[in-house]
């Protein structure tokens, strides 16, 4: 818009639209230039920095600040309604009726429908969402307030607290690709299980800073507590524990903001196939960790939103059938848990403010 004259001209001539990936997909599926629908939902719009999450409307002050004309933005709709119909191909005429951001969709797919329920998605990073219901809680402990969903045109908005971990599975990839201490990710659980503990080794994978709840961009990674007895199994196990400790950091912040301690954690994502990681997560957080046997919870959440839309109604979110889950319960003592977490906090302190110029 600032640098391409053709875009400026197109905006003036009402030939330019701007949106998110979902709005582009819906526009193309419903006809594109031949009558496509330009629409997004509240969850995707909330990530543009242009929507007021109180009103769920484009905010004129923010749009002026970023110099974005509101006329080029998609209409903000709910996460569950018929937006339009597929215009071509084998699905021609089928309604498009569900639209959510990936993390919000996973929260819905995990059936975290009530305030006080939370899920954590484990992939390259780690992403936790905590359902706060109709109440928008402004975090005082380093979390983000976001829209969870709006399931219908007249339905109320449900909000969530969110915390993100920058490095989760990426730390495992780093051990493989940079340190070359194993060849395949599938080896991780087996190698880490050969040792009963980390040997007091702690790994803080702050490769480019720490996200929630620290927000310290000058933090850098470290592995502390190494002795001549340290083996690769200790380092790999410490890496798995680092993911769990960072998750606990966020859960502690969520509990403080909401005042209601979480009683169990729903999990999903590629890393949840690692049973040792799941057991460590339960041990280090002190609550059961529940893994659905249906792995694709993000896709399931989108399907639930689409299927429960008015005019579709093949899902009844108030009367869902129970699903099959694997539950990992804590097996260590509170003292062991608290002592190890205190050591983790010490390790984090040593990483902060590392990427700073030396004082003269």
The answer on 271 and 211 residing in a single domain is yes
The answer on 112 and 38 residing in a single domain is no
Q: What phi and psi values does residue 265 have, to the nearest 5 degrees?
A: -125, 120
The secondary structure of residue 175, as a DSSP letter, is: I
| Rg of the chain, C-alpha, whole Å | 23
Output the CA–CA distances (angstroms, integers) from residue 266 to 99, 117, 178, 262, 290, in the order listed: 22, 8, 32, 11, 5
Examine the pLDDT at 304 and tell me if it is beyond 90.
Answer: yes
pLDDT tens sequence across 87-135: 999 999 999 999 999 999 999 999 999 999 999 999 999 999 999 999 9
In a domain, 95, yes or no: no
pLDDT tens sequence across 35-69: 999 999 999 999 999 999 999 999 999 999 999 99
Q: Which stretches does DSSP call E strand in 24-125? A: 39-41, 51-52, 57-58, 75-77, 80-85, 95-98, 118-122
Examine the pLDDT at 261 and tell me if it is beyond 90.
Answer: no
In a domain, 127, yes or no: yes
The answer on 10 and 156 residing in a single domain is no
The answer on 206 and 66 residing in a single domain is no
Examine the pLDDT at 228 and tell me if it is beyond 70.
Answer: yes
The pLDDT of 322-351, averaged and rounded, is: 95
CATH number, domain with residue 188: 3.30.420.40
In a domain, 261, yes or no: yes
The owner of tokens 């957080």 is 285
Specify the pLDDT at position 360.
60
Given 29, 45, 77, which residue is the final one in a domain? 77
The answer on 73 and 110 residing in a single domain is no
In a domain, 92, yes or no: no
Class of residue 342 by CB neighbours under 10 A (exposed 0-12, middle 13-18, buried 19+): exposed
Alpha helices for the chain (secondary structure H): 5-12, 21-29, 42-45, 60-65, 102-109, 169-174, 188-193, 232-258, 275-285, 297-307, 334-351
Residues in a beta bridge with 158: 149
The answer on 193 and 296 residing in a single domain is yes
The answer on 233 and 119 residing in a single domain is yes
pLDDT tens sequence across 174-201: 999 999 999 999 999 999 999 999 999 9
pLDDT tens sequence across 236-254: 999 999 999 999 999 999 9
β-strands 57-58, 51-52: how paired? antiparallel
The answer on 256 and 129 residing in a single domain is yes
Range of the domain at 13: 5-77
The answer on 228 and 126 residing in a single domain is yes
Share of residues in the chain with pLDDT > 90 (%): 89
Q: How confident is the model at residue 355 (pLDDT cuts 50, 70, 90)?
A: confident
The answer on 114 and 50 residing in a single domain is no
Name the residue among 346, 127, 147 with its Cα closest to residue 119: 127
Q: Provide the sign of the torsion angle of the four alpha carbons 288, 293, 297, 300, taken in this order.
A: negative
In a domain, 90, yes or no: no
In a domain, 94, yes or no: no
The answer on 9 and 157 residing in a single domain is no
Examine the pLDDT at 321 and tell me if it is beyond 80.
Answer: no
Specify the pLDDT at position 323.
76
The answer on 112 and 73 residing in a single domain is no
In a domain, 29, yes or no: yes
What is the value of pTM for the model shown? Answer: 0.92
In a domain, 84, yes or no: no
As for how many domains the chain has, the answer is 2
Average predicted confidence (pLDDT) for the chain: 94
Q: How confident is the model at residue 320 (pLDDT cuts 50, 70, 90)?
A: confident
């Amino acid at each position: 818009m600032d640098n391409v004259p053709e875009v400026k001209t197109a905006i003036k001539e009402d030939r330019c639209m701007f949106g998110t990936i979902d709005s582009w997909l819906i526009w193309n599926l419903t006809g594109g230039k031949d009558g496509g629908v330009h629409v997004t939902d509240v969850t995707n719009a909330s990530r543009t920095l242009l929507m007021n999450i109180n009103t769920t409307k484009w905010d004129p002050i923010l749009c002026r600040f970023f110099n974005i004309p509101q006329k080029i933005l998609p209409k903000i709709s709910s996460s569950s309604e018929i937006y339009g119909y597929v215009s071509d191909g084998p699905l021609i005429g089928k309604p498009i009726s569900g639209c959510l951001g990936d993390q919000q969709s996973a929260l819905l797919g995990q059936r975290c429908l009530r305030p006080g329920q939370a899920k954590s998605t484990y992939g390259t990073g780690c992403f936790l969402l905590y359902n706060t219901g109709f109440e928008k809680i402004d975090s005082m402990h380093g979390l983000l307030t976001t829209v969870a969903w709006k399931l219908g045109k007249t339905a109320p908005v449900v909000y969530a607290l969110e915390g993100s971990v920058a490095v989760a599975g990426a730390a495992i990839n780093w051990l493989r690709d940079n340190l070359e201490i194993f060849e395949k990710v599938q080896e991780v659980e087996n190698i880490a299980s050969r040792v009963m503990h980390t040997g007091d080794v702690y790994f803080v994978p702050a490769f480019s800073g720490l996200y929630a709840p620290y927000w310290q961009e000058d933090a850098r990674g470290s592995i502390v507590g190494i002795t001549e007895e340290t083996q690769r199994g200790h380092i790999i196990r410490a890496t798995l524990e680092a993911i769990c400790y960072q998750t606990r950091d966020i859960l502690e912040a969520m509990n403080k903001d909401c005042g209601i301690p979480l009683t169990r954690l729903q999990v999903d994502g590629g890393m949840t196939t690692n049973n040792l990681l799941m057991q460590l997560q339960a041990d280090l957080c002190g609550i059961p960790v529940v893994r659905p046997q249906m792995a694709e919870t993000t896709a399931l959440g989108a399907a639930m939103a689409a299927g429960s839309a008015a005019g579709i109604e093949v899902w009844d979110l108030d009367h869902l059938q129970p699903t099959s889950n694997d539950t990992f319960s804590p097996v260590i003592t509170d003292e062991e848990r608290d002592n190890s977490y205190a050591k983790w906090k010490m390790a984090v302190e040593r990483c902060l403010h590392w990427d700073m110029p030396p004082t003269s």
